[in-house]
Amino acid sequence: MAVLQTSTDLPAPLGRSTRAPSAPWWFLLIGLVLAAVFAAPLVYVIVRNIQDVSRLDEHFTSSATWDPLGRSLLLASSVAVTATAFGTALAWITTRSDIPLRRLWMLVAPLPLVFPSFVGATALISGFAKGGLLDRAVGPLGFELPELAGFWAALFVLTLFTYPYVYLPVAARLRFLPSSFEESARVLGRTPRQVFTSVVVPQLLAPITAGGLLVFLYTVSDFGAVQLLRYDTLTRVIYANSLADQPRVMALSLLLGIVAVLAVAAERALGRNHSESAMSNRATGLTVPLGRWRWPTFAAVAAFVGFALIGPLASLAHWTVRGAASSRARGALAIPTDGLGEAIGNTVLVSILAAVATVVLVLPIAYLVARHRSRTGMVADGLVTAGFALPGLVLGLSLVFWALSNDFLFRFYQTLPLLILGYVIHFGAQANRATQIAVASVPTRLDESARMLGAGRARRFITVDAPLMMPGLLAAGGLVLLSTMKELPATLFLRPTGFDTLSTRIWASMDNLSFAKAGLESMILLAVSAVLTWFLVLRRSDAL
C-alpha cells in the first residue's frame, strides 16, 4: 500500500550528500568578517548605550518608551498575520485554482511590491479624502468613507504593500511542488480540504514563516507610512528625537535591535520543526476547480488588487493630470522637471551597485549555510536577517555616528560607499534567501566531478556553480535593487550632499505640497520599478 510522504521523510535533494563537507578555515574567516559587517550598526548601538548607561533606566522605565514599542509590536504582528493570510491565499488562488484570467492575476498580484510605503499611503489617503477619487465614486451611493489615520489605517495600508513578500515565495513553492503528494492523498480517500491542510500547508511552512518574518521586520522598521497615517510607533519617536536627544535615540534603537534578534530567533525555532520539501524541476501542481465560488473569488481578488494597485495608481495619475492642467491654465510649464533626469540616474546607479554588492557579500554566507551547514554561517545568517529589522532611520543614524567617531572614518561621511554599505546591511536579508536556494540548487556531485578532473576551486565556481546559480542570484539582486530604489530614511541620512534619488525628490515634493510633481515622480519610479520587478523578480520567482 502506498504511503504518503511528508516533509519530514522526503529523500535528500538529488545530488546532495547527507553529510555536508567542512568549510576551509579561510572561508570560515570570511564568514566571521561578513557577520561583523552586518552586525556593526547593532553593535554600535549597544556600545553607545553602554557609554550612557546611567540614563538607560530612565529610558527603559518610561511610558514614553514602552507605549510606542507596544504599538510597534502590535502593528507589526497584525500586519504579519494579515499579509501572510492574504499572500498565501492569493498565491494558492493564482497558482492552483481555475479562477478566470489566472495568468493576468499572476502578473499583477506581486506588483504592489513596487510602491514605497509613503507613496502608497499618500495615494490612498488622497483617494479616501473628501473629494478624492474613491469618495466621488461611492459618495453618490450614500457611503461615507472613513479617514485613513491610526492603527486600522496603518494595518490596511501596510498589508496592501507587504503581502508580496509572502506571495512570491509561496506561489513559487506551490508551482513547483510535485503533484504526486496530492495525488497520493486523494488515492487514500482524502477530501480536497484535507489534502490542502494535511499535505499542501506543511510544504508551505518554510516560505510562509520566512515571508512573514520579512513582513514583520519591514513593518517594525517602517517610518513613511506610519508618519503619514499618524500612528505613533517607535520609529516616529526616534525620528522626532534624532537631533535633539541622541542618547534616547540609541536606547530606543537598542529596543528595536532586541526585537529584531528575538524575531529572527523565533523564526529559526519554527524552521527547525520542518524541513525543506522536495521540488520538481517544472510546474506540476494540480488545478482545483472552484465550482460555484469561481466568480465570487474572481470578484474578491479584483477588489483586493484594486485597492493595492489600481487605486494608488489612479490617485497618482489624477495628481499629475490635474497639476498639469492647472499649470497650463496659468501659462506655466506643466510640471517642473529640473534635475529629474539626474535623480533617475542616481537612483538606478545606487540600486545596481547595492544589488551587486549585496549578492557578492551574502554569497559566502549562503555557501556556509546551504552547502557546509556551518555554525558560523548560521550566526552570520541570523545577523543578516536581523539587519532588515533595523529601521533605515536607525541604520542611517548608526552609520553617521560611526563615521563621525574619528578622523579616519570621517572621510567616508556623506559618501557613496557609506550609502551603499547602508543599503547592503539593510537589504541583505532579502537577497539571503534566494542566494541560499541558488547555492542549494547546484548538485554537489557536479562540483565533485569537476574536482576529480583537476579543476581548482575558482574554476569550479566559474564553470559549474555560477551558471546554475545565475537565475537565483539575479532574483536576489532584483529584490535588493527594487528595495533600494524606494528606500527613504537611510538615503536621507547617508547620501552625499546634493545627491537626490527619486524617493528623496518625492518626499520633498510631498513635504512642499507639490502633489502634481510628486505624482509624476512617483509614476516614473513605479514604471522603472515595475519593469525591473518583472525582468529580475517575477520572471525568476521560482528562485525565491
**Contact of 271 with 209, CB cutoff 8 Å:** yes
301 and 345 assigned to the same domain? no
Helix (H, G, I), strand (E, B) or coil at 97: strand
Measured CA to CA, the distance from residue 231 to residue 454 in angstroms comes to 62
Nearest to 506 by CA among 491, 388, 281, 471: 491
Residues 323 and 439 in one domain: no
Residue 449 and residue 383 in one domain: yes
403 and 260 fall within a common domain: no
Same domain membership, residue 89 and residue 131: yes
Which grid coordinates are listed for 469? 546559480
Q: Count other Cβ atoms within 10 Å, centred on residue 289.
A: 9
Q: Between the CA atoms of 264, 270, 275 and 280, what dihedral angle is there, to the nearest 10 degrees?
A: -70
Last residue of a domain, one of 334, 359, 377: 334
Tell me, yes or no, whether 344 lies in a domain: yes
DSSP code for 16: -
Q: Grid coordinates in use for 495?
A: 547620501
| Cross-strand partners of 288 | 97
Q: Please, what is the Cα angle at 44 between 38 and 48, to 5 degrees?
A: 165
Rounded CA-CA distance 213/221 in Å is 12
Nearest 5°: phi and psi at 288? Answer: -100, 120
Q: Which residues, in sequence order, are CB contacts of 388 under 8 Å at separation 6+?
A: 214, 217, 218, 221, 260, 426, 427, 428, 429, 430
Q: How far apart are CA 534 and CA 532, in angstroms?
A: 5
Which of 288, 314, 334 terminates a domain? The answer is 334
Q: In degrees to the nearest 10, what's the CA dihedral of 286, 288, 289, 294?
A: -130
Q: Which phi-psi region, left, alpha or beta, contains residue 142 (left: φ > 0; alpha: ψ -120 to 50)?
A: left
Tell whether 291 and 431 lie within a shared domain. Answer: no
Specify the pTM.
0.82
Residues written for the chain: 544
pLDDT in tens, the chain (544 residues): 333 333 333 334 434 445 667 777 787 888 889 988 888 888 888 888 888 777 777 777 777 778 888 999 999 999 999 999 999 999 889 888 888 988 888 888 888 888 888 888 888 888 887 777 777 777 677 777 788 889 999 999 999 999 988 888 888 778 767 666 777 777 777 767 777 777 777 878 878 888 888 899 889 888 888 988 989 888 888 877 766 777 788 888 888 878 877 887 777 777 655 545 545 445 456 777 888 888 999 999 999 998 899 888 888 888 888 777 665 655 555 666 777 889 999 999 999 999 999 999 999 998 888 777 778 888 888 888 777 877 777 788 788 877 887 788 888 888 999 999 999 999 998 888 778 877 877 777 666 665 666 665 666 666 666 777 777 788 788 888 888 988 888 898 899 988 999 988 888 887 777 778 888 888 888 888 777 777 766 665 555 5
Look at residue 305 and tell me if it is in a domain: yes
Cα–Cα distance for residue pair 439/466, rounded to 1 Å: 9
Q: How many CA atoms lie within 13 A of 111 on its CB side?
A: 24
The secondary structure of 364-377 as a DSSP string is HHHIIIIIS--HHH
First to last CA, the chain: 36
Residue 129 φ/ψ, nearest 5 degrees: -65, 160
Identify the domain boundary among 314, 334, 354: 334
Decide if 378 is inside a domain.
yes
Instruction: Report d(CA 437, CA 425) in Å as an integer.
Output: 20
How far is it, in rounded angstroms, from Cα 522 to Cα 117?
A: 12
Give the residue among 38, 435, 490, 82 at the shortest CA–CA distance from 261.
Answer: 38
SS3 450: helix
Q: Are 294 and 403 found together in one domain?
A: no
Residue 183 counted as domain residue: yes
Query: Is 377 found in the same domain as 329?
Result: no
Does 261 fall in a domain? yes
Mapping DSSP to helix (H, G, I), strand (E, B) and coil, where does residue 288 land?
strand
Calculate the alpha carbon distances from 184 to 173, 188, 191 in Å: 19, 6, 12
CATH code at position 87: 1.10.3720.10
| Of the candidates 41, 30, 521, 471, the residue with the CA atom closest to the CA atom of residue 257 | 41
In a domain, 9, yes or no: no
Cα separations in angstroms, 258 against 42, 43, 222: 9, 11, 16
Instruction: Examine the domain organization and report whether 113 and 67 are in the same domain.
Output: yes
Residue 97 sits at φ, ψ, to 5 deg, of -105, 175
All 3 cell numbers of residue 460?
Answer: 569550479
DSSP string, 425-446: HHHHHHHHHHHHHHHHTS-HHH
Domain range for 340 is 21-41+336-544
Domain check: are 310 and 438 in the same one? no
Nearest 5°: CA angle at 451, between 445 and 457? 110
Q: SS3 string of 464-506?
A: HHHHHHHHHHHHHHHHHHHHHHHCCHHHHHHCCCCCCCHHHHH
> Is residue 34 in some structural domain?
yes
Q: Say yes or no: 455 and 505 in one domain.
A: yes
Q: How far apart are CA 544 and CA 472, in angstroms?
A: 7
**Whole-angstrom Cα distance, residue 234 to residue 502?**
26
